[in-house]
Amino acid sequence: MTERASTEPQAADSPDAASGENPSFTKLAMRNMVRKGKLSLTHFGLTALGFIGFIVLVAWLGRPQLPGG
């Protein structure tokens, strides 16, 4: 019987490492977000502002040209 090597890193102090289960991507992301705190919120805010700016730019460039206006 062959074993597959896990590609996900596991912390030694995580509760999932003791049970042998691979933590889900969501659990790892949440753990990382809690650990980094304000930096994650800053990156999220910058991403949200960039996305909203992009949508406004596309809407402004694609606005219809009405006659007489």
pLDDT in tens, 14-57: 555 555 678 899 999 888 888 888 888 899 999 999 999 999 99
Task: Please report the pLDDT score of residue 22 as a whole number.
Answer: 83
Task: Please report the pLDDT score of residue 59 as a whole number.
Answer: 94
Q: What is the pTM of this model?
A: 0.49
Helix residue ranges, H only, the chain:
15-19, 25-36, 38-61
Task: Please report the pLDDT score of residue 34 as a whole number.
Answer: 87
End-to-end CA separation in angstroms for the chain: 75
pLDDT at 60 exceeding the cut of 80 = yes
Choose between 9 and 47: higher pLDDT. 47
